[in-house]
């Protein structure tokens, strides 16, 4: 620690950090665009420039290390004019359709312009008109709105290790696109939507299905059934002005009924079902010499990633469908039979923190007799839109319980929303299934938290299990390369595509920083510690489903409805 | 005629190549095949362990690379300073309209391809156009139209004969 001077006041700086980091800690705000927390600075946008006494010109604070004795000024006329000019230039060729824009209300570019007093157009720049890419079922790209900050490219490359997109061409003609500038649907894009979360404008947004859902709700001949993922109830409140980590579980259920859904089910129920199936699958693989380590298959971005980049590991991926697809499958089979509804008249909607789920529900494997398990997937953001359009305010509604038979859940199922949660839920049940005894303390601290990679060796009966949890595909890649190189001490691996798990999914409210994501995670842990039912195998309705319909885990019916298989996928890598 | 190197041989000439070999490899492929096909970019990606989006990004940064095979008549329009002053912009407009392609592209019948070059070292003859190695000096849009029509006629009589 040493002292530097900023805007006339003395502040503390740590050796090795950037000027921006020191300023931020002291509460001095410097605007940034291309800066990404936790990644090396790229220093391309120049929004963060400051003056340092004795240094020529302006210094980009995001990439310049602090030094002893520095005298920094962040709000001289020169600095402020420069910022304004940069924003002016960014706006010079930006479309003026803010009123119709997907990011109206939470646009970083609009906020920068407002915060820095840019209130009229100084330059009229030539526009490179490029068509929207609507080829992907998950993500829409609108190059006209792109300001070339490069954050999506870095997210896709440095965090996810996918590199579906990059800068194409040069200078004023440069744009972001896929290899050979083809549609995102034929690229290596795994639909995770992390690019949407870092995009400062609406150049990237989710493929919306709100209108289709509204149409289904208005159709009297359709039974519209909805399920919601574990990570949606703890984030939807943010869209209505509540602090991150506020749980709207019961309120959301009540609100969904007001919107007009005929049944409201909880995907955490099929998360419990997943534990039963996947747990049995793991035991089966261990006892009968199946492919190990086994990877989870809940995260559709991850599944596509394996199909593209590591097809040799496909036998290691669990054959279980994801909880969303399991729910879809039992809604259109068990539920349809029980309620005597033709599955063709059921519209199955799913509320997910995820853009890749939109792709998953359209996979040809995910249905029976040409009826899709799940018809439409809405992200948390679209759910908020649905509530607003229909004039339902979840904040003002008394909580209600979800519908039977797929409403009851254990809090283990709820934990699926955070990285490490699937593993924690699986171990709780595995210990019981293999030893007949419940764990003393259900909480497994080593699997919790935001770290990208967590490992645990645990004794389950006589079995010593090596468990690994990774979130983000960059982390998954590292682990897979270790396994490829001969690592053998791991048996079960949970992979979540998004850093931190579904609570930070590509469909979640935009603008969450690390502390907001931690608050969402803490909310799930709180739900778990408050709950009476904390293990999947004690979920009574899951047991009843097996008794009345499925038979037993990995049984014939399960295989038909709840399991699938994946194939190598040919895309441009 | 010298034998044309395959992408595989080119890659074999660069054993243990890293990403710093990318541009020389792409240049050699373009020299051998006349352009960078999707297939060759994918092969290079596999050899250098680089995503094809990155290779495409690098290749499109430079004007020298093209991504469509050259046509039977390869039209190079000079947009260097002297040619610009003498009206090469209008000449280029004329060509893109007549052939309905942009620089870097090839007509669907594979008869014509278009390239913009910075300077051909013949500034005294500006504006200059080069078709298959033959220089056309002081071209006006009108003159250029005639030249292209001649190429087209030649092509058609060739087809009919």
pLDDT greater than 60 at residue A470: yes
Contact: A168, B57; criterion CB under 8 Å? yes
Quote the distance between the C-alpha of residue A214 and its chain's center.
24
Could you give the number of structural domains in chain B? Answer: 2
Cβ of residue A179 closer than 8 Å to a chain B Cβ: yes
The vertex-A419 CA angle with A189 and A279, nearest 5°, equals 100
Cα–Cα distance, B36 to B39 (Å, whole number): 8
B33 and B112 share one domain = no
Q: What is the CA radius of gyration of chain A?
A: 25
B29 and B77 share one domain = no
Q: Tell me if residue A360 is catalytic.
A: yes
Under 8 Å CB-to-CB from A505, ≥6 apart: which residues?
A: A192, A193, A231, A352, A353, A354, A355, A379, A380, A498
Cα–Cα distance, A402 to B86 (Å, whole number): 77
Cα distances (angstroms) measured from residue A567 to each of A144, A296, A312, A319, A363? 36, 16, 10, 12, 12
B50 and B78 share one domain = no
Query: Do A46 and A67 contact (CB within 8 A), yes or no?
Result: no
pLDDT greater than 80 at residue A415: yes
Q: Looking at the partner chain, which of A157, A167, A572 has a beta carbon nearest the beta carbon of B52?
A: A572
Query: Do A380 and A350 contact (CB within 8 A), yes or no?
Result: no
Helix (H), strand (E) at residue A264: strand A263-266
* DSSP E strand boundaries for B7-128: 73-78, 112-117
**Per-residue pLDDT, A366:** 95
Query: Do A132 and A207 contact (CB within 8 A), yes or no?
Result: no
pLDDT band at A127 (very low <50, low <70, confident <90, very high): confident
Contact: B56, A164; criterion CB under 8 Å? no
pLDDT band at A434 (very low <50, low <70, confident <90, very high): confident
Under 8 Å CB-to-CB from B147, ≥6 apart: which residues?
A: B129, B131, B136, B139
Mean pLDDT in residue range A109-113: 96
Q: Pull the structure tokens for residue A542.
A: 């899951």
Q: Tell me if residue A278 is catalytic.
A: yes
Q: Tell me if residue A298 is catalytic.
A: yes
Burial status of residue A437 (CB atoms within 10 A of its CB: 0-12, 13-18, 19 or more): exposed
Q: Tell me if residue A357 is catalytic.
A: yes
Q: Pull the structure tokens for residue B145.
A: 């139209």
B38 and B110 share one domain = no
pLDDT greater than 60 at residue A561: yes
Q: In angstroms, what separates the C-alpha of B38 from chain A's closest C-alpha?
A: 7
B146 and B120 share one domain = yes
User: What's the CATH number of domain A211-562, 3.40.50.1780, 3.30.70.20, 1.20.120.420, 3.40.50.970?
Assistant: 3.40.50.1780
Contact: B51, A167; criterion CB under 8 Å? no
B28 and B86 share one domain = no
Quote the distance between the C-alpha of residue A223 and its chain's center.
29
pLDDT tens digits, B91-140? 999 999 999 999 999 999 999 999 999 888 889 998 999 999 999 999 99
pLDDT greater than 90 at residue B5: no
Contact: A179, B53; criterion CB under 8 Å? yes
In order, the DSSP letters of A303-314 are HHHHHHH-GGGG
pLDDT tens digits, A51-78? 999 998 999 999 999 999 999 999 999 9
Cβ of residue A157 closer than 8 Å to a chain B Cβ: yes
Closest to A178 in 3D by CA, of A127, A141, A208, A148: A141
Cβ of residue A163 closer than 8 Å to a chain B Cβ: yes
- Beta strands A71-73; A49-52: pairing state: antiparallel
- Beta strands B129-131; B73-78: pairing state: antiparallel
Catalytic member of A146, A348, A502, A558: A502
Percent of chain A at pLDDT exceeding 90: 93
- Give chain A's mean pLDDT: 95
B40 and B77 share one domain = no
The residue written with tokens 């699986």 in the block is A426
Burial status of residue A362 (CB atoms within 10 A of its CB: 0-12, 13-18, 19 or more): middle
Contact: A572, B61; criterion CB under 8 Å? no
pLDDT tens digits, B6-17? 999 999 999 888
Mean pLDDT in residue range B79-88: 94
Cα–Cα distance, B150 to B130 (Å, whole number): 14
Helix (H), strand (E) at residue A469: strand A463-471
Q: Is B128 within a domain?
A: yes
pLDDT greater than 80 at residue B4: no
- Beta strands A346-352; A223-228: pairing state: parallel
Q: Is B68 within a domain?
A: no
B90 and B133 share one domain = yes
Is residue A13 classed as helix, strand or coil in its secondary structure? strand
Residues of A whose CB is below 8 A from B61: 167, 169-170
User: What's the CATH number of domain A2-75, 3.20.20.450, 3.30.300.130, 3.10.20.740, 3.40.50.2000?
Assistant: 3.10.20.740
Residues of B whose CB is below 8 A from A169: 60-61
Q: Which domain holds residue B107?
A: 73-160
Which residues make beta-bridge pairs with A492?
A294, A467
pLDDT band at A92 (very low <50, low <70, confident <90, very high): very high
In order, the DSSP letters of A515-560 are HHHHHHHHHHHHHHHH-S---GGG-HHHHHHIIIII-STTSHHHHH
Q: In angstroms, what separates the C-alpha of B149 from chain A's closest C-alpha?
A: 31
The residue written with tokens 């095949």 in the block is B33
Q: Pull the structure tokens for residue A448.
A: 């919790």
Binding site of B for [2Fe-2S] cluster, by residue number, is 78, 83, 119, 123
Q: Please list the alpha-helical segments (H only) found in A295-343.
A: 300-309, 323-330, 336-339
Cα distances (angstroms) measured from residue A170 to each of A118, A194, A549? 28, 25, 60
Is residue A151 classed as helix, strand or coil in its secondary structure? helix
Q: What is the CA radius of gyration of chain B?
A: 18
Cα distances (angstroms) measured from residue A403 to each of A250, A264, A269, A400, A562? 11, 6, 11, 9, 21
Cα–Cα distance, A264 to A331 (Å, whole number): 11
B99 and B138 share one domain = yes
pLDDT greater than 80 at residue B159: no
Residues of B whose CB is below 8 A from A309: none
pLDDT tens digits, A134-171? 999 999 999 999 999 999 999 999 999 999 999 999 99
Cβ of residue A297 closer than 8 Å to a chain B Cβ: no
Contact: B51, A179; criterion CB under 8 Å? yes
B35 and B93 share one domain = no
Q: Pull the structure tokens for residue A211.
A: 């209108």
ipTM attached to this prediction: 0.90
Q: Is B53 within a domain?
A: yes
- How many CA atoms, within 13 angstroms, populate the side-chain half-sphere of residue A250? 7
Helix (H), strand (E) at residue A228: strand A223-228
Query: Do B68 and B35 contact (CB within 8 A), yes or no?
Result: yes
Contact: B41, A157; criterion CB under 8 Å? no
Contact: B60, A169; criterion CB under 8 Å? yes
Q: Is B1 within a domain?
A: no
- How many CA atoms, within 13 angstroms, populate the side-chain half-sphere of residue A356? 24
**Per-residue pLDDT, B1:** 46
Q: Is B66 within a domain?
A: no
Closest to A256 in 3D by CA, of A384, A408, A92: A384
The residue written with tokens 């995670």 in the block is A521
Domain A120-206 in CATH 3.30.43.10: no
**Per-residue pLDDT, B161:** 57
The vertex-A331 CA angle with A325 and A333, nearest 5°, equals 105
Cα distances (angstroms) measured from residue A517 to each of A31, A155, A396, A451, A500? 22, 17, 24, 12, 8
Of residues B158 and A92, the one with the higher pLDDT is A92
Number of cross-chain residue pairs from A and B with Cβ atoms under 8 Å apart? 50
User: At B114, which CATH number?
Assistant: 3.40.30.10
Q: Is B141 within a domain?
A: yes
B52 and B32 share one domain = yes
Catalytic member of A17, A53, A312, A365: A365
Q: Is B2 within a domain?
A: no
* DSSP E strand boundaries for A154-210: 165-168, 175-178, 204-206
Cα–Cα distance, A226 to B41 (Å, whole number): 45
Cβ of residue A158 closer than 8 Å to a chain B Cβ: no
Q: What are phi and psi of A279, to 5 degrees?
A: -60, -45
Under 8 Å CB-to-CB from A271, ≥6 apart: which residues?
A: A230, A323, A409, A412, A413, A414, A416, A422, A425, A536
Which residues make beta-bridge pairs with A469?
A454, A494
B123 and B147 share one domain = yes
Domain boundaries, chain A: 2-75, 120-206, 211-562
In the listed set B40, B61, B82, which residue is the last one of a domain according to the structure? B61
The residue written with tokens 């040919």 in the block is A570
pLDDT greater than 50 at residue A316: yes
Cα–Cα distance, A482 to A445 (Å, whole number): 25
């Amino acid at each position: 620690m040493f002292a530097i001077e900023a805007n006339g006041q003395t502040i503390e700086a740590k050796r090795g950090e950037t000027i921006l980091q020191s300023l931020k800690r002291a509460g001095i705000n410097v605007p940034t665009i291309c800066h990404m927390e936790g990644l090396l600075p790229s220093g391309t946008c120049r929004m963060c420039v400051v003056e340092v006494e004795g240094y020529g010109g302006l210094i980009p604070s995001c990439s310049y290390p602090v030094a002893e004795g520095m005298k920094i000024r962040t709000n001289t006329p020169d600095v402020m004019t420069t910022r304004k000019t940069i924003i002016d230039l960014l706006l010079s060729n930006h479309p003026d359709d803010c009123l119709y824009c997907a990011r109206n209300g939470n646009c970083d570019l609009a906020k920068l312009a407002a915060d820095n007093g840019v209130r009229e157009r100084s330059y009229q720049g030539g526009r490179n008109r490029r068509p929207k890419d609507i080829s992907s079922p998950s993500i829409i790209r609108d190059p006209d709105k792109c300001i070339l900050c490069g954050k999506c490219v870095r997210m896709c490359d440095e965090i996810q290790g996918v590199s579906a997109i990059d800068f194409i061409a040069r200078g004023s003609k440069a744009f972001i696109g896929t290899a050979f500038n083809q549609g995102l649907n034929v690229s290596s894009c795994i639909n995770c939507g992390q690019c949407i979360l870092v995009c400062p404008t609406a150049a990237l947004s989710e493929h919306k299905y709100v209108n289709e859902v509204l149409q289904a709700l208005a159709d009297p001949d359709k039974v519209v059934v909805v399920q919601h993922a574990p990570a949606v109830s703890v984030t939807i409140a943010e869209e209505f002005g509540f602090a991150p980590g506020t749980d709207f579980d019961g309120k959301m259920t009540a609100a969904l009924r007001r919107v007009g859904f005929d049944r409201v089910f909880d995907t955490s129920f099929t998360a419990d079902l997943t534990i039963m199936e996947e747990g049995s699958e793991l035991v089966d693989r261990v006892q009968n010499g199946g492919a190990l380590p086994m990877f989870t298959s809940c995260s559709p971005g991850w599944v596509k990633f394996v199909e593209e980049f590591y097809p040799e590991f496909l036998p290691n991926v669990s054959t279980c469908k994801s909880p969303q697809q399991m729910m879809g499958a039992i809604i259109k089979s068990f539920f349809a039979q029980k309620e005597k509804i033709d599955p063709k008249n059921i519209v199955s909607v799913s509320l997910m923190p995820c853009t890749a789920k939109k792709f998953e529900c359209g996979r040809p494997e995910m249905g029976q007799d040409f009826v899709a398990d799940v018809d439409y997937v809405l992200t948390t953001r679209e759910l908020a839109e649905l509530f607003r359009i229909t004039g339902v305010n979840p904040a003002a509604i008394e909580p209600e319980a979800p519908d039977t038979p797929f409403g009851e859940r254990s809090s283990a199922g709820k934990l699926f929303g955070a990285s490490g949660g699937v593993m924690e839920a699986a171990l709780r049940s595995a210990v019981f299934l293999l030893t007949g005894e419940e764990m003393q303390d259900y909480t497994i601290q080593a699997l919790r938290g935001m770290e990208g990679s967590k490992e645990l060796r645990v004794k389950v009966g006589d079995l010593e299990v090596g468990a690994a949890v990774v979130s983000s595909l960059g982390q998954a890649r590292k682990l897979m390369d270790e396994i490829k190189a001969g690592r053998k001490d791991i048996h079960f691996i949970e992979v979540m595509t998004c850093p931190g798990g579904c609570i930070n999914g590509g469909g979640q409210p935009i603008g969450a920083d690390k502390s907001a994501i931690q608050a969402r995670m803490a909310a799930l842990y709180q739900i778990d510690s408050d709950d009476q039912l904390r293990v999947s195998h004690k979920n009574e309705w899951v047991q009843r489903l097996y008794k009345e319909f499925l038979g037993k885990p990995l049984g014939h019916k399960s295989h038909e409805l709840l399991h699938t298989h994946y194939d190598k996928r040919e895309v441009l890598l | 005629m010298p034998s044309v190197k395959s992408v595989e041989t080119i890659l074999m000439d660069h054993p243990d190549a890293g990403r710093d070999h990318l541009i020389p490899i792409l240049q050699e492929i373009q020299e051998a095949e006349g352009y960078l096909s999707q297939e060759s970019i994918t092969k290079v990606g596999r050899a250098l362990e680089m995503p094809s989006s990155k290779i495409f990004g690098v290749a499109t940064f430079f004007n020298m690379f093209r991504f469509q095979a050259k046509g039977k008549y390869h039209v190079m329009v000079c947009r260097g300073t002297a040619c610009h002053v003498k009206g090469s912009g209008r000449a280029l407009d004329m060509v893109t309209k007549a052939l309905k392609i942009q620089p870097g592209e090839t007509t669907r019948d594979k008869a014509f391809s278009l390239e913009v070059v910075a300077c051909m070292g013949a500034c005294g003859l500006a504006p200059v156009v080069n078709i298959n190695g033959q220089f056309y000096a002081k071209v006006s849009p009108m003159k250029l139209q005639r030249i292209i029509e001649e190429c087209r006629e030649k092509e058609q009589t060739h087809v009919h004969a």
